[in-house]
Amino acid sequence: MTDLIDRQKLSYIAAQAADARLNVELETEGMTLNIGPQHPATHGTLRIIVRLDGEQVVWADPSAGYMHRGYEKLTEVRTFPQVTTLINRIDWLGSFANEVPFILAAEQLMDIEAPPRAQWIRTILFELSRIANVSLFLGDLGVQLGAITPVFMAFRDREYVLNLIEGATGGRFHPNFDRIGGLKDDLPKGWIDETRQVMKKLRNFCDEIENLLFGNKIFQDRTRGIGVIPPAVAQQYGLSGANLRASGVDWDLRRDQKIALAYDKVDFKVWTHPDGDSFARCWIRLQETREATKIVDQLLDGIPSGPVMAKVPRIIKVPEGEAWVSTENPLGEMGYYVVSQGDLGPFRVKIRTASFNNISIVPWVLRGVYVPDVITILASLYFILGDIDK
Amino acid sequence: MIAVDLPYWAQSLLRVLGGTVAVLLPAGTIVYLFLFKMMSFMQSRLGPMEAGPYGSMQLFAEVGKWLQKEDIQPALADKKIFKIAPLIVLVSTFILVAVVPFGPDAYFTDFEAGVFYALAVSSVSVLGILIAGWSSANKYSLLGGLRAAGQLIAYELPMVLAVVGVVIQAGSMNMQQIVFAQNHGSIFGWDGVGNPYVLTQFVAFGVFMIAVQAELTQTPFDMPIAESELVSGYMTEYSGFRFLIFFIAEFANVGIFALIASVLFLGGWGVPFSWFGWDSMDAVDDWMNVVGPLIMIGKMLALSFLIMWVRFSYPRLREDQLQRFAWKVLIPVSLVNIMLTAILKVAF
């Protein structure tokens, strides 16, 4: 841990020493507290069993699976086009982004590529679902910390993005728009101009949130130096997305991976933060929302003309083979390992969701913190229950 | 002075009725005006609009809803204490309003140690909260109750110390005398607006309002409730009518502390006496008994607006940060304030 600054080192050592010190100083009996499955801070049904000494966490254990819906098994009894309807529901706030890696994997197996216009629109919708997802996080962050106003701003401005997604795909939450070989439809008339307007509004929203929350002294006191994850530990636990970048690891699949999306046509900055604390994770997400609006703007400027659907047989049979495609989803790396045996449906699908790995660090990072910080850390790790339990 | 001489029973009846109004009216006004409407406008929404014009009957709808709910008690709860707890919290607001003067003759009681009494009984509510947290047989309630006890006791101190500055300047602990001293006083010889202590005791005013915010467990200091951490803190197991009592007590307390703050710092029911040429308490015209309460309500609303505004815009501190703030910032600041006030009082 040579690349940690002093403040982080101190807080890390303090956290690690906490339970040992407590046991030596006072031989008190602890209290086991069930946070969840029904608890306002777990926005869903995550259960975290914490062992407390006073208000200090001595030991924490997340218990996932209260909302397990068996997607990996369900995909096996569906045809390839039907699967997208299902996997929309994994991360329900950024639905379209769930479809893309699966479709890309299927396309890889069938050895077809979507036309350029379809790839660009896919990328635009992918980023829009990122904005819809993360803007809600930025509002919800306030609620977790007791500030009730930002969440309403988030809901207000997310509505514009959802309207756009609905305008293009017909579904606000679950678009089911991606098809093997392209997209269901082209963009509607006037959509591009409207999107530009909305991106401006979203940048305003980011400024508002930055002023209202991130500049607030109390917010900084509550998040800075709390829940520090050093880069080495973050990589060991398989964190991805903003959680990893907040620990200073410069890793973004949008930039680092050659994939059939239009990310190589735009230039955007991959933000990292050296601190690795709760504040860094929240700040990275704020910057990424801004960056996403810029990506959308650039893509709208250069969108090519042409068809949105490649030539695909009417009945889709995916040839035998295996494919792994992962993308940088709003929550982190999401990937599908698709095994096909030449049937109408997949033989086996392994879904790698970001939140499941992100939440696996909870026992490590919660040790030695206070109960209020449990909530801050969970909020800043940002998980969606559907994404954990699948 | 008023010439009418009421019999004792009529006076008592009047006091009880007045007390009920003085507790419930601010609570209702604050809930409707600030909690329902102002909060909604700050959050770009409309708030309740269905019950009555602009949702003005919403309060009655809410009370009706709560009264209909089932009275649930946890099986393991300490039943008697569980039932008493909300009443203790509510009663503390009633006994607190007893010393607040609303006009030259419109007061419930007028006794010499009014400020002392107010600060003393304001801590009774801690007892209610603590036993609510303990008797609920719920771990979240317990954590909330203990947090409340720690916080409310820590913030009693800066509150008392802030008030000491006012008491030194007024030279009295009697609430009426403090009002008189402010409206009759002068700032270095200039008596255009009297001497509302918010101008000369602005440090004490700041400390007092912060301590009030903590005492009322409003947002930057709402750890005892902390809905995202402790579900609802000490109120978690309360529902229906008992929750309603807690709810009324919370907002009645906001009103009463705003009333006390307006008496101590904003000149209470009075207008600057130099405007009308009054130079003693007896010279004040009788119509102030009617206008005074209205002035008080105006000041109360202004101060509770401040409290609510902070509540809607700030995130929550952590328990240790809160204690550190009380002991390392507020208490030293108010001690320095007392010292300076005492020096200036002797010097001038």
**Count of beta carbons in the 10 Å neighbourhood of residue B248:** 21
**Contact B110/A at CB under 8 A:** no
Cα angle value B77/B134/A41 (rounded, 5°): 95
- Nearest-Cα distance to chain B for A142, in Å, is 7
* DSSP β-bridge partners for residue A52: A31, A57
Contacts of B228 in chain A (CB under 8 A): 40-41, 143-146, 375
Whether B106 and B293 have beta carbons less than 8 Å apart is answered as yes
Nearest Cβ partner for B228 among A41, A149, A216: A41
DSSP conformation letters of B288-338? HHHHHHHHHHHHHHHHHHHHHHHHHH--PPPHHHHHHHIIIIIHHHHHHHH
What is the structure's pLDDT at A20? 63
**Contact B318/A at CB under 8 A:** yes
Cα angle value A36/A357/A377 (rounded, 5°): 50
What is the structure's pLDDT at A47? 86
DSSP conformation letters of A284-317? HHHHHHHHHHHHHHHHHHT---S-SB----SS--
**The complex's ipTM?**
0.78
| Domain extents in chain B | 8-347
In chain B, % helix, strand, coil (3-state, to 5) comes to: 70, 0, 30
| Nearest to A107, CA basis, from A181, A183, A178, A176 | A181
Q: Does CATH place domain A71-361 in 3.60.21.70?
A: no
Nearest Cβ partner for A218 among B44, B220, B223: B220
Sign of CA dihedral B262, B268, B269, B271: negative
Nearest Cβ partner for B227 among A33, A40, A156: A40
H or E segment at A340? strand A332-340
Q: Which of B318, B328, B329 to probe by mutation at the A interface, max A CB count within 10 Å?
A: B318
* Sole residue written with tokens 């490590």: A364
Query: Inter-chain contact B313–A31, Cβ cutoff 8 Å?
Result: no
What is the structure's pLDDT at B336? 92
Contacts of B143 in chain A (CB under 8 A): 55, 371
Query: Inter-chain contact A219–B315, Cβ cutoff 8 Å?
Result: yes
| Helix (H/G/I), strand (E/B), else coil: B161 | helix
Chain A contact residues (CB < 8 Å to B): 31, 33, 39-41, 55, 142-149, 152-153, 156, 212-213, 216, 218-219, 221-222, 370-375
Residue A343: what are its φ and ψ, rounded to 5°?
-95, -175
Residues 6+ apart with CB under 8 A from A276: A8, A228, A229, A230, A231, A234, A246, A247, A248
* DSSP β-bridge partners for residue A47: A63
pLDDT digits (tens, 9 = 90+) for A264-294: 888 888 888 888 888 999 999 999 999 999 9
Distances (CA, A) of A57 to A20, A233, A358, B88, B233: 12, 20, 19, 33, 18
DSSP conformation letters of B82-130? HHHHHHHHHHHHHHHHTT---SSS--S---TTHHHHHHHHTTHHHHHHH
Token pair recorded at residue A191: 């959509």
Whether A118 and A103 have beta carbons less than 8 Å apart is answered as no
**Helices (DSSP H) in chain A: which residue ranges?**
6-25, 71-75, 80-87, 95-110, 116-144, 150-169, 191-209, 217-223, 231-236, 242-245, 253-256, 278-301, 354-359, 362-365, 371-381, 385-389
**Contact B310/A at CB under 8 A:** no
| C-alpha span between A11 and A21 (Å, rounded) | 15
Nearest Cβ partner for A372 among B219, B312, B318: B318
| C-alpha span between A213 and A192 (Å, rounded) | 31
Q: Which residues of chain A have pLDDT under 70?
A: 1-9, 11-12, 16, 19-29
| C-alpha span between B221 and B160 (Å, rounded) | 18
Contacts of A216 in chain B (CB under 8 A): 314-315
pLDDT tens by residue, chain B, 348 residues: 455 677 888 888 888 888 888 888 888 888 888 888 888 888 888 888 888 888 888 888 888 888 898 888 888 888 888 888 888 888 888 888 888 888 887 777 788 888 888 888 888 888 888 888 888 888 888 888 888 888 888 888 898 888 888 888 888 888 888 888 888 777 777 777 777 887 788 888 999 999 988 888 888 888 888 777 788 888 888 888 888 888 888 888 888 889 899 888 888 887 777 777 777 777 777 777 888 888 888 888 999 899 988 888 888 888 888 888 888 998 999 999 988 888 888 887
Residues 6+ apart with CB under 8 A from B51: B57, B58, B60, B61
Distances (CA, A) of A185 to A81, A285, A309, B126, B266: 15, 31, 8, 63, 66
- Nearest-Cα distance to chain A for B315, in Å, is 4
Query: Inter-chain contact A371–B45, Cβ cutoff 8 Å?
Result: no
| C-alpha span between B169 and B163 (Å, rounded) | 10
- The pTM for the full model equals 0.82
| C-alpha span between B144 and B223 (Å, rounded) | 7
**Count of beta carbons in the 10 Å neighbourhood of residue A294:** 16
